[in-house]
Structure 1
């Protein structure tokens, strides 16, 4: 096995106080999942056990939840967008969420509303999908540098897509201004003062995937995970999923590790400080879905209380994760994972090859008994970039 060293800064959380969360928990997840089951084509995404990679790393299990199989949208994000849109329509039209379904709503033929959001790609695709399924309008804004493929995914669903000349966080502010002027309904997956209800629903919707994973582990007869690696942009998925796991398995019972790109590591910096730190500027990382500089304030308290380690890593870590998942050891399942789906696996693969492997394993408390859960949150949502990394060696490892 060759050795090489990729940049990963690890910060232990000095503010750790494991505890359940009143908002992001198993009850909220089960309510969302009941609704998701009513959607046409719903089924749990696969959970794969990569036993040969686990052996190479020196742990008991490495389990990967493959969200590229989520409907035909290639990413987990629509779980949040659809649940929030369902809740929003129930609020506007005074319907009962416990019996709400998209199919029944369409038959009522109410006047359409316009849903607006900012996205790096996957969330906007989910909102556009929901709008189309419901006969509503959608206007989706994207930050500067968004790929043509990601734009096309959204316009193919009948939504209007506007690419700005600003970064993600500034684009959110622009979208909000336009929505207020035009009477649109903003369905955004980050929160700010006075805008908390919809992002809360979105985060609760993400927890459907955690509820599925726990059910799948039980079906496998597997012991509970000892570790979970969660990648973060604003931290909405991480908090939604971790809130469920903490509630289900008990506070402090599994070691949570948060992984971010070093060029947009707002949660890593917040973890070091013990309070929210924003990161500005270009946020240039291949992990497009994680290129966010301002933590979601709704998820932050839960993450501050329950995350054991914050990791800020270079882009090559995510690229390595994409290659390792797509080209597994013999006997393990191949998984197509995009830039923002693969950083968790990238961290584990980088440890396997690291000259200080032993110290890194100790630092994260990885032992021969560890069972590590990873969420591959997206497939090749930008197919050209996926090929550039996996075929052409973009962000590759150079051996001198």
Structure 2
């Protein structure tokens, strides 16, 4: 068997308490899913079992949810943006969320609104999609280095989209300032002082993925997951999903691991210190959706209390995950997963091929009884880059 060593720094969480959250929970995730299920074109994204790969790696089962099938948008992010916009409008016009639809909301809006956000691609596309469905305007800003294809996806939905010369976190601050000047509504998946309600709704919206997975796992009879690997930017998705999962399976039973690029590993550093740590600089990682340097303060307490380990890894780990998912073993399904979506699977593969495989398996508490849950949160949202990695061998395992 080939062996190669990819950089993966694994930190145990010394501040783990197992304390769960009433805000990010199974019940809130079910409320979000009930709304999403009313939308035209809704269906749960598939949860695949990678039996041949699980056998190779030495675990009982690998389960992976494929979010490239979400509403034709090739990523999960619309779940949060759309849910937050609808919650905002229901509150504004005194409508019942349980009996609300895009059509009813569209008819209720008196004066046209503009929704503004910062994005690395997928969140902005989701906000633009929701605004289009509701007949409203959207303005989207992206950090420097953003892929032109992701820009065009947003513009195709009728939104104004501009790329700045700043990193993600500085672009968020600029968006906030412009929105205040122009009277736009900010729909951002991180929070700051005085801005918590909308990001809370966004994070709760992400819980739909987790609630679907809980139902699908029960229906499949594959056994409850023992592990979940969640990729992180600001930690909004991770907290929204993990809150539901620890409610369903128990924080002490589900071994949860957060994975970040080493160039934007704010949560890894926060996990070591026990308090939120910001990371600055260009954060030029291929995992564009995770290139965020400041933890979401709403999600951080839950992650601090319920995550067992934090991983900071090099970009090659994500590239490996993309290749493995796109070139499956045996009868395993082929999954087209983008850079941010594939990094969790990349960690499993990198552990398998590592010279210290056994030590890493023990450290992550992986064994023949493990059932590992992963979320492939995006497809090939940047097709050119996907093919450079998977077809042309960019970011090779050995150089």
The TM-score, its normalising length taken from structure 1, stands at 0.99
Contact residue 29 and residue 205 of structure 1 kept, 8 A: yes
Shift of 1:337: 0.2
Q: Distance in 1 between matches of 2:107 and 2:384?
A: 39
Shift of 1:291: 0.1
Trace 1:118-129 onto structure 2 (pairs within 5 A): 118-129=118-129
Shift of 1:86: 0.2
What residue in structure 2 maps to residue 254 of structure 1? 254
What residue in structure 2 maps to residue 301 of structure 1? 301
Gaps of 5+ in 1: none
Shift of 1:20: 1.7
Tell me whether 1:17 sits opposite 2:5 in the alignment.
no
Trace 1:33-112 onto structure 2 (pairs within 5 A): 33-108=33-108, 110-112=110-112
Q: Distance in 2 between matches of 1:74 and 1:43?
A: 14
Q: Distance in 2 between matches of 1:233 and 1:109?
A: 33
Shift of 1:96: 1.8
What residue in structure 2 maps to residue 340 of structure 1? 340
Q: Distance in 1 between matches of 2:386 and 2:22?
A: 39
Contact residue 189 and residue 199 of structure 2 kept, 8 A: yes
Trace 1:1-400 onto structure 2 (pairs within 5 A): 1-108=1-108, 110-398=110-398
Contact residue 19 and residue 252 of structure 1 kept, 8 A: no
Shift of 1:398: 2.0
Give SS of 1:63's match. strand
Shift of 1:354: 0.5
Q: Distance in 2 between matches of 1:91 and 1:179?
A: 20
Contact residue 89 and residue 105 of structure 2 kept, 8 A: no
- After TM superposition, the structure 1 stretch with the greater mean CA deviation from structure 2, 103-112 or 157-166, is 103-112
Shift of 1:45: 0.2
The Cα offsets for residues 270-304 of structure 1, whole Å up to 9 and x where unpaired, read as 00000000000000100000000000000000000
Contact residue 68 and residue 337 of structure 1 kept, 8 A: yes
The Cα offsets for residues 71-116 of structure 1, whole Å up to 9 and x where unpaired, read as 1000000000110000011122222222111022223463210000
Runs of 4+ deviating beyond 3 Å: none
Contact residue 20 and residue 305 of structure 2 kept, 8 A: no
Give SS of 1:207's match. helix
Give SS of 2:367's match. coil
Q: Distance in 1 between matches of 2:19 and 2:175?
A: 35
Give SS of 1:171's match. helix
Shift of 1:322: 0.3
Aligned residues between the structures: 399
Change (3 A) 1:258 1:109: closer
Give SS of 1:339's match. coil
The Cα offsets for residues 210-267 of structure 1, whole Å up to 9 and x where unpaired, read as 0000100111012100000000000001000000011111221100000000000000
Contact residue 117 and residue 172 of structure 2 kept, 8 A: yes
Give SS of 1:161's match. strand
Contact residue 191 and residue 298 of structure 2 kept, 8 A: yes
Give SS of 2:23's match. coil
The Cα offsets for residues 14-43 of structure 1, whole Å up to 9 and x where unpaired, read as 001012211000111111111101111000
The TM-score, its normalising length taken from structure 2, stands at 0.99
Q: Distance in 1 between matches of 2:331 and 2:170?
A: 46
Shift of 1:13: 0.4
Gaps of 5+ in 2: none
Give SS of 1:162's match. strand
CA RMSD of aligned residues (A): 0.8
Give SS of 2:308's match. strand
Contact residue 19 and residue 246 of structure 1 kept, 8 A: no
Give SS of 1:379's match. coil
Q: Distance in 2 between matches of 1:37 and 1:12?
A: 38
